[in-house]
Structure 1
Amino acid sequence: MTDVVPNRVMTWNLCNPCDASNVDRAAEIATYAPQVVGMQEACARDVEKIRDYLEVFYGLRYHVAYGSVLQNWSRCGGAPWDPGGFGQALLSAAPMTDRVEVEYPEGGSEDRGYMAVTTTVGGQSVRVFNTHLAQRRQEEFREGQTRVLAKAVARSERAIVLGDFNAVPDAPELSRMWALATDTDPACGPAPAAECAPTTEWQSKFDYVFLRGIAPLRHRVVRSEYSDHYLLHTDVDPTRAVTRAARPAR
């Protein structure tokens, strides 16, 4: 049996539609056993199966919270009159409270949103956000979406923001996030010359663990054959804040 790493969080875009087994997805998550997992492009039925496999095969017990923004038969199956929920989801080894689910006013070519919960990471109460921003080449929509998200994140002195932002670090629409938080990779920032490891098969960094009032300890980007996005997990110290604040991109 596997034990969760109590101060580890992970973000992963599952890729949908993709030909991937939920057994394999669960195995990938169990390899790193994070306290909290944020998933994007997630079908509610798939997440439920992943959670069950994590418990049955690895002894990892997670609570689940959904942030579905679509009911989508083509992506998530189900009967046409009862399609599956599609969007974000969170798995947490500790209970989650104060769940908020927000659909962005303008999603771009597909509805998008964020979800937030309060849970325990590293023995501390932390506000955790999970989001998926508008698709590539839809910068004008992502700018409005980050405005909504940043306003919510700013209310928490200690927050972790997980997600697929569909934007490289120096993209102007991410400036509001950089003004509030730092990336889990201390070498990664909004400067064009920053060294940010890619998190996608097309060698762009689109996936982030933004930390506000929380110090990063170590992180890892892991290629996965089950998605076009890599897994990004990080260990954090919620009792210690980052001493150097990030600067906006411009």
Structure 2
Amino acid sequence: MVSGTGVRLLAGAMIVACMTLVGPSAPKGTLFARPLPAGAPEDVVPNRVMTWNICNPCNESGQNIGRAADIATYAPQVIGLQEACVRDVERIRDHLEYQYGLVYQVEYGSVLRSWSRCGGLPWRPGGFGQAILSAAPMTDHVSVEYPDGGSEDRGYMAVTTTVDGRPTRVFNTHLAQRRQEAVRAEQADVLAAAVARHDRAIVLGDFNAVPDAPELAEMWAVAADADPECRSGATGTCEVTTDWYSKFDYIFLRDIAPAGHGVHLTRYSDHNMFHADVDLTDPT
């Protein structure tokens, strides 16, 4: 039998051993943080934005830890997530802060309460829709449900936040599922009208349509994709963003210059991450 004093000494030794393994208490010293690739940013990149449909349901083991690591690898100033459950976003945000030292504000554009997708109690299901994470404060948040969501309620959200040191209106959307072209056309018209009211805007989202799809015509009329080689009539030069080799994910820029972009494979979704660096320097 171990005496009370012996138990306390043993417990103290275990705590010291654990602290030795874990290291300092700073966020980047946690035991469970997945190491980032060499060259990953140490802090958020102030002119970088990202869009990512995180897939629901996908149920990959450890998916929120993995999602946070994938985001931290590129450390955007602003991230637009689609198919996002509030509980998942909360966990991703916490992992980003406590494992990688990246602190984000969050706003939600939930348009659906779904127990089957997001869990929770049947009479209190989790919110499902879009979310925006920003390293800077966000203001003037709106969440708009499209008049016709198609087979599932859909909408857009918008906030004003800081990108590349300047206040910018940022939208995030998810248009109707495939084979619902007429519904998407109506949704894109609603979104384009809202974007057109701003001199400068960034639109993130999963549009469920390839670049030359007729339903995206109004969006192309008010903004350009962050990939300068990708235009409405040139699908062959657009990088694919899905596991089925289509470009469905866009970063539309209105009166903002692109300064680089990347499409990144991930095991945690059937959509790739798409990030863009932008230049908001006013012309001289």
TM range (shorter): over 0.9
TM-score, reference length from structure 1: 0.95
Q: Once the 2 structures are TM-superposed, how far is the Cα of residue 238 of structure 1 from its aligned partner? A: 1.4
Higher Rg of the two aligned structures: 2
How many Å apart are 1:131 and its aligned residue?
Answer: 0.1
Contact 2:226/2:261, CA 8 A, preserved across alignment: yes
Identity of aligned residues (%): 70
Who is 1:105 aligned against?
Answer: 147
Partners of 1:117 and 1:127 within 8 A in 2:
yes
Unaligned runs of 5+ in 2: 1-27, 29-41
Aligned to 2:25: none
- The reply to whether residue 19 of structure 1 matches residue 59 of structure 2 is yes
Matched, 1:7 2:47: yes
What is the distance in 2 between the residues matched to 1:4 and 1:19? 28
> Is the 2:210–2:235 Cα contact (8 Å) retained in structure 1?
no
Equivalent residues of 2:52, 2:80 under 8 A apart: yes
Give the distance between the partners of 1:218 and 1:192, measured in 2 at CA: 19
User: Could you state the TM-score of these two structures normalised by the residue count of structure 2?
Assistant: 0.84
1:228 counterpart letter in structure 2: D
In the alignment, which residue of structure 2 is the partner of 1:47? 89
Between the aligned partners of 1:159 and 1:214, the Cα distance in structure 2 is 7
Say which structure, 1 or 2, has more relative contact order (CA 8 Å, 6+ apart).
1
Distance 2:48 2:151 in 1: 33
Q: Relative to total residues, which structure has the larger strand share, 1 or 2?
A: 1
Tell me the residue number matched to 1:247.
Answer: none
Higher helix share: 2
2:174 equivalent to 1:116: no
SS of 1:185's equivalent in the other structure is coil
Question: What is the one-letter code of the residue matched to 2:58?
Answer: C
Q: CA distance change for structure 1 residues 195 and 240 in 2, over 3 Å: closer, same or farther?
A: farther
Distance in 2, Cα, partners of 1:100 & 1:228: 28
Determine helix, strand or coil for the equivalent of 1:6.
strand
Letter in 2 for 1:76: C
The one-letter code of the counterpart of 1:19 is N
One-letter amino acid of the structure 1 residue matched with residue 116 of structure 2: S
CA drift at 1:197: 0.5
Runs (4 or more) in structure 1 with deviation over 4 Å come to none
Distance 1:240 1:211, change over 3 A: farther
Alignment pair present for 1:208 and 2:253: no
- 2: distance between equivalents of 1:143 and 1:178? 12
Distance in 2, Cα, partners of 1:140 & 1:113: 15
Number of aligned residues: 241
